[in-house]
Amino acid sequence: MLMVLTHLTGGIGLFLLGMSLMTDSLKAMAGDSLRQWLGRFTGSPIKAMFFGISFTMIVQSSTATTLATIGFVSAGVLSFVQAIGIIIGANIGTTSTGWMVAFLGLKFSITAFALPMIGIGAMLKLLGKEFWGLLGLSLAGFGLLFLGIDFLQDAMAGFAGQVDLTQWSDDTLRTQLILVMVGLVMTVLLQSSTAAVTATLAALASNAIDLPQALALVIGQNIGTVATAILAAIGATVSAKRTAAVHVLFNVITAIVVFFVLMPATLWLVEHRFLVWDNMVVVAAFHTAFSLLGAMLFMPFTKQMQKVLQWLIPEKEIPTTRFLDDSLFSLPAVAIDSAKRALCQSLSQIYEQIILASRGAILSNEINGQILDDTLAKIDEYLEKMPVSQAKNDQQQLSNLLRLVVYSRMIREDLSSVNFIDILKNNLQNNALSETMVYFQQLTHYLSELPINGIDSAFVKSFVAFGDDLKAQKDSVRFSIVEQSASQAENAAAALELITAQRWLDKFTKHTTKMVMILDSKNSLQNN
């Protein structure tokens, strides 16, 4: 029995390690392009669902898809309706592993192929860089996954010979519910429904359990993912909590329907030989049918679900800092985007206030810089906790974010003298302020849309050129102010005050143009 438990533990460990390596490497290979894919392929809930299926099949982890979705909802890249579609699609996509195991992992010994895959993957990781290193990790993970399945199959064969499971083979409601609970516990303990389903398939292949037991276990294993989602949402953002709620509603309600309708129907079809497939194929098909049934139940009501969840889980966070979610650290590109989004939103509010002050709609002393202070403090805390990504693109984006933070602090310092706006707007001969506000108006729009939409490079060039013109004209402007003061016999103090105000505007515009250059993605990458 000790040997059986050793093989079982080792098999599960190898499987989980392989899944982790494969998932993490594929996520890193996707990198920042994930955002572009989302924007391109999630225009409607149906398209979002198919994206969720595809992406989950690629990375072999519905959790990875869910975390990415949470981040992009927080950043405003995805609507919550689209997020619901992706979550439902992720539940369907994760069933692909069951098919892979049923057709490959348990039909023949894959150890002869798994070991070379691990070896080749390790060599690519050691000798390759960036893409090839990540590909090596993915290949090694794939090999470890199937090596773990081989150990699981041997362990379950030994387990069947030493443990009598006939007491759980009757079809009473009590027994079936117990098996569902066992499946739920398996997922909670393994922290992976895929690993739990794989263990079930291995047990079925080794005749340790029969088909009705396997189906009941699969239902419980699907429900078990709810626990992981709930734990991930504790202390997280409202978006994370709403996404977890989607998981709960989808899996629990679908499981109830499957337990009372789909499972009896599947067993009836097998019993009357309408389904003559191998039992492992039946389980894989049942697992997929579980999620497809859930999709049919929920997809027509995504908008209604959105309204209900928004009512049940209202937004309580500060509008800007709500984007910062620690659960996004497993996806560095998403976490960086969220921090960038928070900062851009705060800056957008600052520039909106400056524009209003220049028009006389509010007083300059009413400009609230505390918004930016709070956001910068939260981002500092967020970046301290963020792990350093090994992907080159993520490192470049993080570097750009840090530079953006630096110039944001400079802009915040400039706000300490924002009362100079009052002097400039009262000087009718000076057009610099009004011209600057035209650019600030456009900038406010771009800041509110980032990082969903990029900043227009033509605008960046025009704004930078405007800043250069201000710098080039500063001496002539100062001379004009002095000359005007002398001709009108104004006091020197007023002239000096106006010159100082003009200098402040030049500096503020300079810091703003530097920030805009960083926000221009093409320019940013070139600068790195």
Do 357 and 382 lie in one domain? The reply is yes
- Residue 195's pLDDT is 77
Tokens 């276990």 identify what position? Answer: 217
Integer Cα distance of 203 and 214 in angstroms: 8
User: Domain check: are 347 and 475 in the same one?
Assistant: yes
- How big is the chain by its Cα radius of gyration, in Å? 30
Amino acid letter for position 360: G
Decide: residue 273, CB within 10 A, 0-12 exposed, 13-18 middle, 19+ buried.
exposed
What is the rounded CA–CA span in Å between residue 167 and residue 389? 51
Tell whether the model's pLDDT for residue 159 goes beyond 60. Answer: no
**What is the reported pLDDT for 166?**
53
pLDDT value at 437 more than 80: yes
Cis previous bond, 451, omega within 30 = yes
- Of 513, 500, 512, nearest in space to 474 by CA: 500
Residue 208 has pLDDT above 70, yes or no: yes
Number of H helices, E strands in the chain: 23, 0
Angle among Cα 52, 258, 298 to the nearest 5 degrees reads: 40
Segment among 30-39, 346-355, 438-447 with least mean pLDDT = 30-39
CA-wise closest residue to 25 among 49, 67, 61, 69: 61
Do 207 and 326 lie in one domain? The reply is no
Amino acid identity, residue 368?
Answer: N
Task: Please check whether residues 272 and 341 belong to one and the same domain.
Answer: no
Question: Residue 87 pLDDT > 60, yes or no?
Answer: yes
Distance CA 525, CA 528 (A): 5
- 490 or 395: which carries more pLDDT confidence? 395
Residues 349, 460 within the same domain: yes
Do 273 and 411 sit in the same domain of this protein? no
Model confidence band, residue 526 (pLDDT cutoffs 50, 70, 90)? very low
Cα distances from 479 to residues 114, 475, 504, in angstroms, run 79, 6, 16
Please name which of 71, 72, 37, 39 lies closest in space to residue 55, comparing C-alpha atoms: 37
State the DSSP code for 386: S
Say which residues have a Cβ less than 8 Å from residue 506's Cβ, sequence separation at least 6: 470, 471, 474
In total, the chain counts a number of residues equal to 528
What's the CA angle centered on 284, arms 4 and 46, to 5 degrees? 135
Pick 109 or 12 by higher pLDDT: 12
Q: Compute the average pLDDT of residues 105-114.
A: 61
252: containing domain: 2-312
Task: Give the domain-ending residue among 293, 312, 331.
Answer: 312
Confidence of residue 168 (pLDDT cuts 50, 70, 90): low
CA–CA gap between residue 418 and residue 505 (Å, rounded):
9
Average pLDDT over residues 221-250: 78
Please, are residues 328 and 335 in contact by the beta-carbon 8 Å criterion? yes
Q: At 451, list the tokens.
A: 């990082």
**Position 257 confidence tier, pLDDT thresholds 50, 70, 90:** very high
373 and 424 together in one domain = yes
Mean pLDDT of 398-415: 93
Same domain membership, residue 230 and residue 84: yes
Q: Could you identify the residue written with the tokens 């629990």? A: 252
Q: Dihedrals φ, ψ of 211, to 5°?
A: -65, -50
Better-predicted residue by pLDDT, 500 or 189: 500
Contact 90, 52 (CB under 8 A): yes
Q: How confident is the model at residue 79 (pLDDT cuts 50, 70, 90)?
A: confident
Note whether 299 and 330 are same-domain residues.
no
**Among residues 188, 184, 241, which one has the least CA distance to residue 218?**
184
Same domain, 242 and 331: no
Asked if 245 and 358 sit in the same domain, the reply is: no
Instruction: Report whether 147 contacts 104 (CB < 8 A).
Output: no
Q: Which amino acid is at 20?
A: S
Number of folded domains that form the chain: 2
For the segment 319-328, the average pLDDT, to the nearest whole number, is: 71
Final residue in a domain of this structure, among 312, 343, 373: 312
Q: Which two tokens stand for residue 328?
A: 């996004």
Asked whether residue 364 falls in the same domain as residue 219, the answer is no
**3-class secondary-structure state, position 320:** coil
**Distance between CA atoms of residues 519 and 139, nearest Å:** 36
Query: Among the three residues 292, 312, 332, which one is the final residue of a domain in this structure?
Result: 312
pLDDT for the residue numbered 262:
95
The domain that holds 475 is classified in CATH as: 1.20.58
pLDDT tens per residue, range 478-515: 666 666 655 555 566 777 788 888 889 889 999 999 99
pTM for the whole structure: 0.66
The position carrying tokens 């192929």 is: 113
Q: Are 45 and 84 in contact (CB under 8 A)?
A: yes
DSSP state of 328: G
Mean pLDDT of the chain: 80
